[in-house]
A and B are shown apart, each in its own frame.
Chain A
């Protein structure tokens, strides 16, 4: 049916190849990264590293997680570049704005 071999199939469109396995692998990667994110502030209660390093690690993990979701779940990887530009440009602006506000209003994190 999927490739048009079944003459009685109600659907004439050719089915795409499934990427379910890749999506599950991506999910586990995101899960592990989220676990690390949650663990960092708990472990660092003993102030193993300075707060600035902790914040940098958390923001780095957040950015990587976001990029993975966009590339694989939102299919920006392989889609038209224009869609990516429309979405990523505001994200870059917001991240820069956020860093600026951290510097202005929470200088202890710098």
Chain B
């Protein structure tokens, strides 16, 4: 019986039509959803726990929102990440249509957006820490920095990933083309996921 099952599996197509790299990526992203979900709900349950009155911390959740006006900085960051999703999908469109110039241009634009986002987040963290909220002096700070910091780490990983794709595309022109774009598609899926997480963080942490 077992032998019959083994015989039925085509050795050249073990995924039975499914691209295993893509399947692996979607499985990984699914597990990441649980990871970020756990972090966000922890923040939701702990964000009311601010520093004791003896602490020099001046901010609570409302204070963080109002630190740069009504979420002005985070709204700009949301716009940048949203734009990067467009540029990423245009880069994939470029490689799928065999337009190497367009592919490289939009991939470079996506990387630029990612770097600007990270710069904005560092700027925000600097000001929040300056107001006395740190990762270790109260639960609000701990959970806030964990959620936004892990998201920032994912953006940084995405930037490194896209830079490696761009370098590879420049060093080996025509490596990625209409018949071979899976590496770009996987990078794109990861990048869109990072944008998706920001959609969640922006609404739940900064707006609600």
Contact = CB atoms under 8 A, between A and B. Distances in A.
Given A20-B93, A70-B196, A80 B18 contact: yes
30 contacts: A1-B98, A2-B97, A2-B178, A10-B174, A13-B178, A14-B178, A20-B90, A34-B75, A34-B82, A37-B203, A41-B207, A62-B199, A66-B199, A66-B200, A69-B195, A70-B196, A73-B89, A73-B192, A73-B195, A74-B188, A74-B193, A80-B18, A90-B31, A93-B34, A98-B41, A98-B44, A98-B204, A101-B41, A101-B45, A106-B48
Interface residues of B, number: 51
Nearest to B19: A80
B134 interface: no
Interface string B19-45: 000110011011101101100110011
Interface string A17-50: 1111001101100110010011011100000000
B199 A65 contact: yes
Contacts of A106: 44, 48
Contacts of A61: 203
A53 interface: no
Contacts of B48: 105-106
Interface residues of A, number: 55
Nearest to B37: A94
Contacts of A15: 96-98, 178
Contacts of B195: 69, 73
Interface string B60-102: 0000000000110001001100110110111001001110000
B153 interface: no
B182 interface: no
Contact of A12 (B33, B179, B200): B179
| Chain B contact residues, majority secondary structure | helix
Contacts of B82: 27, 30-31, 34
A77 to B, nearest CB: 13
Contact of A19 (B40, B93, B204): B93
Nearest to A95: B37
A42 B97 CA distance: 43
Interface of B: 18, 22-23, 26-27, 29-31, 33-34, 36-37, 40-41, 44-45, 48, 70-71, 75, 78-79, 82-83, 85-86, 88-90, 93, 96-98, 174, 177-180, 188-189, 192-193, 195-196, 199-200, 202-204, 207-208
Contacts of B70: 38, 41-42
A50 to B, nearest CB: 14
Contact of B207 (A26, A37, A66, A72): A37
Q: Which 5 pairs across A and B sit closest by C-beta, in order of nearness?
A: A13-B179, A94-B37, A90-B33, A62-B203, A16-B96
B18 A91 contact: no
A63 B192 CA distance: 15
